[in-house]
Structure 1
Amino acid sequence: MLFDVPRPAARIRAGVAHVPGFLDVSAQAELVSQARELARRGRMDRPVVGSGQMSVFILSVGREWRTRPYRYVPSELALPEQWIALGRSALATAARVAPELADDLFRPEAALVNYYPPGSSMGLHVDANEESSAPVVSLSIGDEALFRIGHTEGRTRPWDDVTLMSGDLIVFGGPARRAYHGVPAVRPGTAPVGCGIKEGRLNITLRQVDR
């Protein structure tokens, strides 16, 4: 970001909370290091969806997300207990901004580690393969991204755009749990020094799969 301006936590709409700077730089670097270790033991690739291949690389942890057909299957990579605790802490923080997100029973079962290389994006889609309606916890590290969230009926307006910087947390659940959302743009050259990534964006989403 060109200018250092205050970015208070905000309830974007019912069921959507944005918490800037949830992770400090050292916590970001530690999370990147853990993700790299998991990637060495797992498979990070660009899934084929619809009629094309995604520009984003995805690693599944805890449960493996697959396409054709869309589903979760058991993963060889166990979800680290640290990540489970982080997801619960993140949701509790978000619930202080948007109380309707509160879920004392939330226990992440799957993490999708998404790496956005420079120039990549993700179209508007719905996270609909989880039986659980628990919120989705999303953490950003590296280059800034434009996060867009719309409504549950389709990909058309109205939607809200939120700039996600390195260390930011965004959580969506409740009436926004099945809302269309995506990342239309990543802004190159905006990753802070020391975050663990020189270019691109790492996005870790934590979610509960079963009811």
Structure 2
Amino acid sequence: MLDLFSEEAPWLEPLAEGAAILRRRARDEAAALLALVDDIAAQNPFHHRITPGGHRMSVAMTNCGDFGWSTDARGYQYSEYDSVSGQRWPAMPDRFHQLAVACAEEAGFPHFQPDACLINRYAPEAKLSLHQDKDEQDMRQPIVSVSLGLPAVFQFGGFERGDAVQRVLLEHGDVVVWGGPSRLRYHGILPLKAGSHPATGAFRYNLTFRRAFR
């Protein structure tokens, strides 16, 4: 039986209907995940994308999988190729895929098959403004988001930008899953506080798994 009061065991913390945090779910394999992030970044370095409005994103990003998400003057899009390098995105590691599928199932979404993983790197003061993940074709599939490194405050709101938001601290190894009735909720990350984590130094990494195309 899962001990909900254990400091060591992972547990499921509901956020809303169709949304939950799997506390510490990825902590034991975090070192292996971060090593794979390094491998991916060696093939496709982290880059600060420019939004359609001309703003430089504070978060640096790369991708892996059949498709990658990016933004530029043309808008937000998924593509098989990186618009900066012109190269195909690195393949999604099996370990990434297996973790995403398992976490989705544990949160109540047993048929998740991600084809894209957006990898965000946060330095101090980097943030992600409230937004919806709505560039995907298949809204039946959830979002699976893995936090590694420095803690961050996750905002989880409603279906309008001005709705009230929950603010929850995400720590190393926490996984957030949302889908179904919560699939289009607004969410974001408050500016990252400076610090040092044994596994990632001054950074926070976030792996966000999606199903981009049907």
Q: Secondary structure at the match of 1:88?
A: helix
Residue 13 (structure 1) aligns with: 16
Match of residue 103, structure 2, among 87, 90, 94: 90
Structure 2 unaligned blocks of 5 or more: 1-5, 82-87
1: CA distance between counterparts of 2:35 and 2:11? 28
Match of residue 201, structure 1, among 193, 199, 204: 204
Match of residue 181, structure 1, among 174, 180, 187: 187
Q: Secondary structure at the match of 2:105?
A: helix
Query: How big is the shift at 1:19?
Result: 1.1
Letter aligned with residue 98 of structure 2: A
1: CA distance between counterparts of 2:18 and 2:106? 13
TM-score when normalising by structure 1: 0.86
Per-residue CA deviation, residues 60-87 of structure 1 (Å, 9 max, x unaligned), is 1111212222111104211122211111
Identical pairs, percent: 30
Cα distance 1:8–1:84, how it changes in 2: closer, same or farther (>3 A)? closer
Q: Secondary structure at the match of 2:107?
A: helix
Contact 1:58–1:114 (CA under 8 A) maintained in structure 2: yes
Match of residue 136, structure 2, among 130, 135, 139: 130
Query: How big is the shift at 1:209?
Result: 1.0
Instruction: Please identify runs of 4+ aligned residues in structure 1 that moved more than 6 A.
Output: none
2: CA distance between counterparts of 1:22 and 1:105? 19
> Which range moved further: 123-132 or 45-54?
45-54
> Which range moved further: 51-60 or 6-15?
6-15
1: CA distance between counterparts of 2:11 and 2:96? 25
TM-score when normalising by structure 2: 0.85
Residue 35 (structure 2) aligns with: 33
> Which range moved further: 78-87 or 6-15?
6-15
Structure 1 unaligned blocks of 5 or more: 96-101
Cα distance 1:8–1:87, how it changes in 2: closer, same or farther (>3 A)? closer
Query: How big is the shift at 1:185?
Result: 2.8
1: CA distance between counterparts of 2:26 and 2:92? 19
CA RMSD in angstroms comes to: 1.9
Greater relative contact order (Cα < 8 A, sep 6+): 1
2: CA distance between counterparts of 1:33 and 1:43? 14
2: CA distance between counterparts of 1:136 and 1:120? 21
Tell me whether 1:72 sits opposite 2:75 in the alignment.
no
1: CA distance between counterparts of 2:176 and 2:75? 28
Residue 3 (structure 2) aligns with: none
Query: How big is the shift at 1:9?
Result: 2.3
